[in-house]
Structure 1
């Protein structure tokens, strides 16, 4: 049942959907609105999928969400912070045999869901293509130019690193139950996918299933992202043999990696203007040096 008015109680659709789309959210209602509007315009019949919104206890959520509440089928509040717990909560109330995850700041293409579900005929877990969207017609910031070149290469993540970003992932509900939910405090996408593939499940790339993701707009946003990723990746590496040594060696290579990756910027088709390429290059060296110092800090703080 599609709701015309929202209230804090979860309402189940009267039909039996074949796909549950899980959307974690925290304090970004405008991006959520764009995501939900696009999800309601998919070329999949609306009766075949339900939209499950798992809010991470956003401030003043009831009031701010009310104008767009009719766009979802189920709403729940997950007080434990983190997109992982929110996704896990969404799965608990989902009713369909197939799950599709999308982040609330992403916009799916019309055939995103159909193409993603079709890919499960060839694999057990599928990760979609993530396209970093170009901002409005204006000069790009260094962070935006950097992310247009480097962020969300999900095909490489899947084929070389054995994981898919959780911004766009498809699997069967029973598989998710057997693998278990997303963990917190670690790189949840890597940890979950590695746990699944260790159980024998096959991970595949759904390159025809596409979502658009905005880039980080400025240095502060980019630094916040990498502070979180550094912390989560460090926690994940510590679970492996010689974890601290692995992290230390990985951290030492970061300044060198900036030199190695510089040609990628000048070959990047998403960056047309020389000004954008130079801005991306400056940000590449800046963020790699920042990650170098932050990586050493994590080890030092852990030893203390």
Structure 2
């Protein structure tokens, strides 16, 4: 590895967000990179201690990278439990603004924000709701981000209609949080309220806040977005189907940015899926290297 890994914690309200900091041996970029994970996972989707992952790739090439764990996930404190709940609105209104502002103040430069899956949805919502954050954001990069899952089929009926929409609320009621890791359908657990808040959006409900009715769709229409690049994968049939990814980009106006489909037909080494687009070793030469060059031209 050509970078140093360390941990820090950012105090927000009555909890702490864990920040995994990847500091290059030789810094070569003016803009810090913030990485945000999706649902039932944590920031390790972007790094590990052996130097693998997009975060490590960029840190080895001179970028100062921070991989954040949202409240209740990863090494953030406290963990999701019956005693510690956390809503989607809190993530939109507290966590994301705090993270962007913290890095902006620390580096005195606008931040490149990268988001996997559902993190791209809450990122767009946060920036639309708080447009004063936009001068602090240099660029946006998303991987497999969709708001609505419109595709059908057996996997959708099993994983979304049954497990997420029906079983998960029952587990939240029973445990006080979603034990996705124990039940082996996720890499990390989720706060109960966050899970409940996502269901209507996933099922095609309007892009409005379930807590206070804030209209994110209308707010997005008024935004002049930073430069952006959005990745979808041909093997991602459900959680980030390219059809749903493109629908999200149109809905938010983020289709003003670059869109790339990862797969053999577009000329890549494999048909990536929702996870392998960030974890497969072949991603380094297929799209990580292209992303590095794009970032250096910002």
Normalising by structure 1, report the TM-score. 0.30
Q: Structure 1 or 2: larger helix share?
A: 1
TM-score, scaled relative to structure 2? 0.31
Larger radius of gyration: 1
